[in-house]
A and B are shown apart, each in its own frame.
Chain A
Amino acid sequence: MSRSRLLPLTGILAAVAAWQLGVSLHPSSLIPGPIAVARGIGELAVRGLLVKYVVASLFRVTWGYLTALIVAVPLGLALGLRRRAEAAINPVLQVLRPISPLAWIPIAILWFGVGDLSAIFLIFLASLLPLTVATMNAVHNIDPVHLAAALNFGIPLRARITRVLVPAILPQLIVAMRIALGVAWLVVVAAEMIAVNSGLGFLIVDARNAGNRYDLVIAGMVLIGAIGIVLDLLMRRIERLDSVRWGYAAE
């Protein structure tokens, strides 16, 4: 066990220690220490809320995100390949993009009521535009030589899409997917704070409103952070696949 192995832990340990110290110095503070938070997580697990809320949040993210991906990739490919389509639609995308997905909350509630569907819709919106624009830009960045070679060998359209276009955009698309997933995770928490009655975002709001249980608030934050890290790591795994590694600068 060398020093360099321990180094990555020191930052986290120091932060936890500082947190504990800060709490001991201000015993009157509402903020609970790390031990109370750990106990809070335990309590959530015992009450069955831990699994229930984590599953609820992940369920919403999964459906909203996958639906967006399924719509965005073909749309982005079409916009990237057809200059006319891009000229017609891209300006509209650029105006819609800065509308915070959360600004759609009232409309989501109007259309889908308070529940899963609203949250899924918001995540869909949050992921759709970045993924579409990223796909379109990735198509623009394809080396024209590769497209020319594909034409030259006369391979059928379907194979041209699956064996040339999609692999060519994949490295850039995966980066965009990772960023979009991060935003989706952010949006689901916000959506759950406002528009739904379950999930990790709801846990935070509910724990505060129902009796200032700040141990549970921070427990919720820790869970959100941990799951966010796992999602990010999973996406980074994909970036190491042999068939996409060419697209990233050598490390």
Chain B
Amino acid sequence: MKNVTMQRPMQHAASNIEHSTFEKFALPLLTVAVIIATWSAAVEFSGTKIFPSPIAVASAIGTLGEKSLLWRYIADSLTRVFAGYAVAIVAGIPLGFLLGWNASLARAVNPLIQMLRPISPLAWMPLAVIWFGVSNAAPIFLIFLASFFPIVVAAMNGVRNVPPMYLQAGRNFGLSTWQLMIRVVIPAVLPRIIVGLRLAFGIAWVVLVAAEMIAVDSGLGYLIIDARNAGKRYDLVVAGMLLIGVIGLLLDTGIRRVEEWISE
């Protein structure tokens, strides 16, 4: 039992609740309003012809929404990111378990993983193009690389750090290795793996955008680079960025939901 439940000094406990709606909705809106106002003013006063005002971006979002192309780009991006990520999960979690469970194997394989891990997935691009050509498989491979290593490492460290007491208790109750895995190890490492999965997805999303800027001619990353190259349409560039942000946030929220659901 932790005894001390301290608030800030000399604070009336009752006064905390009243401002919460104000804080939750009005304050962020205020911040957004300030940002938009500053942005507008900066565009206005600098007299830039290239950088778009918030209004131009808003209308660009409208223009994009009318084109069916946009929906195809979104679908392409999502397909790529989920395909690469799914393969990374399917390959990475079992490998991580194996390495976490078998210390000698880990000593042999871990250095290789640690060496490949810091190679920016984008550096694999030329090889990906040799192996897969300019197709969907190349960016999927890069996404796979980006998410594979964090997932393996999270699963491996998770299994390694299962308190030995749990394993002893499990053995004590006569569980076989398989039962031990399913009833003790997996539940014990799940929280760590889930953190690793979210981290991996964040990196996958970064890599996706870059890969689409370099290697293919569809998707949200391509949308941005194309808008710039084809006629300096910076209103479309910023609109595309916002779109990437919003979709990324939605996906992140979705993954958090799945996490909460898995961990009950």
* Known pairs A11-B108, A204-B123, A220-B123; A103 contacts B31 (CB<8 A): no
Task: Tell me, yes or no, whether A117 is within 8 Å of chain B by CB.
Answer: no
Report whether B115 and A98 are in contact in the complex, using a CB–CB cutoff of 8 Å. Answer: no
* Known pairs A87-B27, A106-B224, A144-B6; A98 contacts B245 (CB<8 A): yes
- Name the residue on B nearest A8 (C-beta): B111
In this complex, which of A92, A144, A190, A225 has the most chain B Cβ atoms within 10 angstroms of its Cβ?
A: A190
* List of A residues within 8 angstroms of B30 by Cβ: 88
* Known pairs A144-B6, A145-B6; A4 contacts B245 (CB<8 A): no
Q: Measured between alpha carbons, how far is A151 from B9 in the docked complex, in Å?
A: 9
In chain A, residues 151-194, which have Cβ atoms closer than 8 Å to a Cβ of chain B? 151, 179, 182-183, 185-187, 189-190, 193-194
* Known pairs A100-B208, A101-B206, A102-B210; A217 contacts B127 (CB<8 A): yes
In chain B, residues 1-25, which have Cβ atoms closer than 8 Å to a Cβ of chain A? 4-6, 9, 23-24
Report whether A88 and B120 are in contact in the complex, using a CB–CB cutoff of 8 Å. Answer: no
Our pick among B161, B209, B225 for the contact of A100 (Cβ within 8 Å) is B209
Q: How far is the CB of B42 from chain A (nearest CB, A)?
A: 12
Interface of B (DSSP majority class): helix
* Known pairs A185-B118, A186-B121; A88 contacts B209 (CB<8 A): no
* List of A residues within 8 angstroms of B234 by Cβ: 106-107, 110
* Known pairs A31-B130, A107-B237, A151-B9; A189 contacts B120 (CB<8 A): yes
Q: How far is the CB of A188 from chain B (nearest CB, A)?
A: 8
Interface range, B side: 35 or more
Q: Measured between alpha carbons, how far is A87 from B249 in the docked complex, in Å?
A: 18
Taken residue by residue from 36 to 74, chain B's Cβ proximity to chain A (1 for < 8 Å, 0 otherwise) reads as 000000000000001100000000000000000000000
Report whether A87 and B245 are in contact in the complex, using a CB–CB cutoff of 8 Å. Answer: no
Report whether B249 and A94 are in contact in the complex, using a CB–CB cutoff of 8 Å. Answer: yes
Among B86-94, B166-174, B197-205, the one that faces the other chain is B197-205
Report whether A224 and B115 are in contact in the complex, using a CB–CB cutoff of 8 Å. Answer: no
Our pick among B50, B199, B206, B241 for the contact of A110 (Cβ within 8 Å) is B50
* List of B residues within 8 angstroms of A145 by Cβ: 4, 6
* Known pairs A31-B127, A88-B30, A148-B6; A224 contacts B214 (CB<8 A): no
* List of B residues within 8 angstroms of A148 by Cβ: 4, 6, 9
Q: How far is the CB of A115 from chain B (nearest CB, A)?
A: 17
Total A-B contacts with CB atoms under 8 angstroms apart: 184
Q: Measured between alpha carbons, how far is A231 from B5 in the docked complex, in Å?
A: 41
* Known pairs A95-B249, A193-B125; A100 contacts B244 (CB<8 A): yes
* List of A residues within 8 angstroms of B35 by Cβ: 92
* Known pairs A102-B210, A102-B213, A106-B224; A193 contacts B23 (CB<8 A): no
Our pick among A15, A91, A189 for the contact of B28 (Cβ within 8 Å) is A91
* List of A residues within 8 angstroms of B27 by Cβ: 84, 87-88
Q: Measured between alpha carbons, how far is A126 from B112 in the docked complex, in Å?
A: 27
* Known pairs A179-B199, A224-B120; A95 contacts B245 (CB<8 A): yes
Our pick among B107, B111, B206, B245 for the contact of A187 (Cβ within 8 Å) is B206
* Known pairs A98-B249, A99-B245, A220-B123; A229 contacts B118 (CB<8 A): yes
Report whether B249 and A186 are in contact in the complex, using a CB–CB cutoff of 8 Å. Answer: no
Task: Tell me, yes or no, whether B221 is within 8 Å of chain A by CB.
Answer: yes
In this complex, which of A90, A205, A221, A232 has the most chain B Cβ atoms within 10 angstroms of its Cβ?
A: A221
7 A-B contact pairs sorted by A residue (CB < 8 Å)? A8-B107, A92-B28, A99-B241, A147-B6, A183-B203, A185-B120, A224-B123
Query: Which B residues are within 8 Å of any A CB, using their own CB?
Result: 4-6, 9, 23-24, 27-28, 30-32, 35, 50-51, 104, 107-112, 114-127, 130, 161, 199, 202-203, 205-210, 213-214, 220-221, 224-225, 227-228, 234, 237-238, 240-242, 244-249, 251-252
